[in-house]
Amino acid sequence: MGLEAFLRANSSSPAAPFLGFAHLIIRVANSTAQTISTASNPAYTPCIEIRDNTMQDSRLIDMQALRIFVATAQDCNMSRTAKKLGISQSAVSQTIRMLEDSVGAPLLNRTVRPLTLTPAGIALFNRGRALLDDACNIRSAVLDASREAKPSLRIGLVDSFAATCGTHLVQQLLQVTNQLAVRTGLTPNLGEALARRELDLVISSRQLDLEEIQSQPLMSERFMLIAPPSAPKCRVAADIATLEKALPIIRFNRQSHLGEQAERALRRIDVNPSHRLEVDTADTLTAMVAGGLGWAVTTPLCLLQGARSAAAVRVDVIEDLNEERTLYLHTRQGQGEYGVLGKEIFGLVQAILDSQVTGELREIDPALPAMTTIHSWR
């Protein structure tokens, strides 16, 4: 049966809509043959493979092969790897060749000594090493769970929260977890790590629009202006024009979520200062303002992050600067023990914000606590 006849005969089958989008590949034993008659060769059975081009290759990588590759990448020498693993060098070589065929790219540069990794090899080594570590811990984690032992937890904290509340939170988490790993960074990076299941819970400054992720608002804080004490004072948005003439603005990196929000707050009051200086962290920004280099738009928690320099700046609360930043606790829905632990962590953070952070903000400036709102679990 020819291809057209095959498709015509099956056009009414349930698989027909799929065949319309799939790539039909017929592999034959003799690649030079144009047609094959099954009648003349009844022993021949064609191999028909339906491949959906819209889907990525879902073939799994053998864990033992991955272990051999990671060991080779670490030693940069197949003979040493073979001796360490108690197998032959040819077995190491063949295993890596099969891996390369599986992923469709060379993993090792064999033209130099010692061996080096290709870009594909580097990617597989980085992900594979973490995967092997997780695989080694699976059995003990399952046994611990069966004995109702404390769970292991991987948590991500946005920088401003980690610098101000992180120590207090970790002290509490060490009492309810068996192992604790803390990662800090920017909101987009933490969100991606949570989506890849590299983290179990995340506290960040943006609501994540991810399937199966639940976002609980922890606290909200208003944006404000900080400036050197000698700079012109700002009470309303119109006063910023005078401040601009005296000092330049110091901005958060515009690639960060915090920088985006600060820029949006200024645009809403029709303020667009020239771009001269950007910084990445809140403590650097506060230190620059304290040093008299300019003024900035920030939040109470970010000012607390730069507490070492906070006493040397002046806080100006401008009612027209109507913009808030919200911190969220992100957990996976239906995550069993982590779902329960998520609610417990929410309560811990609430207590830290209420008992520790509020008092520390008041010491910097009595107006700061009123600029923050601590949310309840919903």
pLDDT over threshold 80, residue 333: no
DSSP track, 203-252: EESS----TTEEEEEEEEEE-EEEE-TTSPP-SSGGGHHHHHHHS-BEEE
Instruction: Specify whether the backbone of 199 is left (phi greater than 0), alpha (psi in -120 to 50) or beta.
Output: beta
Report which secondary-structure segment, H or E, holds 374: strand 372-374
- For position 24, what pLDDT does the model report? 35
| Residue partners of 101: CB distance under 8 A and separation at least 6 | none
Instruction: Quote the CA–CA distance of 351 and 374 in Å, as a whole number.
Output: 10
The answer to whether 101 and 107 have CB atoms below 8 angstroms apart is no
Q: What is the pLDDT of residues 153-208, one digit of tens each?
A: 999 999 999 999 999 999 999 988 888 999 998 888 898 898 888 999 999 998 88
Closest CA to 249 of 299, 281, 288: 288
pLDDT over threshold 50, residue 14: no
Closest CA to 212 of 345, 334, 327, 338: 334
Closest CA to 58 of 98, 89, 102, 27: 102
- For position 295, what pLDDT does the model report? 96
Question: Which pLDDT band holds residue 343 (cuts at 50, 70, 90)?
Answer: confident
The mean-pLDDT minimum among 39-48, 63-72, 186-195 falls in 39-48
Q: What is the pLDDT of residues 88-123, one digit of tens each?
A: 999 999 999 998 888 889 999 888 888 889 999 898
Could you give the C-alpha distances from 285 to 67, 227, 273, 307, 315, in angstroms and in order?
45, 11, 16, 11, 14
Is the pTM here over 0.85, yes or no? no
